[in-house]
Amino acid sequence: MKKLLLILLVYSFPLFLSALTGCDDCNPDPIRFGISNYKIYLGNAEKEDQYMYPPDTIAANDTVDFKKLSIAITGTLRSVVFHSQTKTGAEAWACDPAVIAIDKIKSIIVTSSASYNSTLPPGTHLSPVLSIARERWPQQAFFNFDTTPDRPAYYAYSIRLTQAPESSGLHRFTVKIDLLNGQSFTSTSAPVYIKK
């Protein structure tokens, strides 16, 4: 019996190796996704430059230091069908496939219901006082993100304030996201009291 198992293992090993391909030798079909909706909520993050998803949520009318406020953007994903045929029928991969966002961001506009400072009255895009990050991507000036061409639409972003408001006060943030495919999403947060 042991001899039979050994012979079976020896002869089936090459077949197993042909199905299991290493990351250096393979490129499994990527997983493609699109965005069907974006929503926002407010979070309380510990560090200024930290990407927090999901952050501790902030309830309506809570008070938060501007350095800890995170405007979290979360997307609802839709899968994109991609057909691929294999020569051997079934394949097992030694590495994870790439995850590719097929939608592209045209713009993200963040406004507040209250004046942030003398140059940013209510309803003005707050980009000069914002930074943005996504998973495995550090916070960067919003201007850098805004001027980058061909921005994939990922499922989660964290927007942070980089400067204190001119005075403490109640703010209600609205985020409008436009995709290149014509989709547009607008979401408004609960009011929050921001300390300078």
Mean pLDDT score of the chain, rounded to an integer? 79
Average pLDDT for residues 129-141, to the nearest whole number?
A: 88
The DSSP call for residue 120 is: B
In the three-class reduction of DSSP (H, G, I as helix; E, B as strand; rest coil), residue 98 is classed as coil
> What is the reported pLDDT for 17?
45
In contact, 51 and 137? CB cutoff 8 Å? yes
- The Cα–Cα gap between 6 and 2 comes to 6
Looking at per-residue pLDDT, the higher value among 196 and 140 belongs to 140
- The Cα–Cα gap between 196 and 183 comes to 35
Element (H, E) at 12: helix 2-19
How long is the chain?
Answer: 196
Place of tokens 């639409």: 153
> What is the reported pLDDT for 6?
44
Specify which of 15-19, 92-96, 123-127 reaches the highest per-range mean pLDDT. 123-127
- Report residue 101's pLDDT band, with 50, 70 and 90 as the boundaries: confident
Per-residue pLDDT tens over the stretch 47-90: 655 555 555 678 899 999 999 899 999 998 887 665 444 444 44
For residue 38, report the phi and psi dihedrals to the nearest 5 degrees. -125, 140
Average pLDDT for residues 139-164, to the nearest whole number?
A: 90
In contact, 51 and 134? CB cutoff 8 Å? yes
- The rounded percent of the chain whose pLDDT value lies above 70 is 69
Per-residue pLDDT tens over the stretch 8-39: 444 444 444 444 444 445 555 667 788 989 99
> What is the reported pLDDT for 148?
87
> What is the reported pLDDT for 171?
97
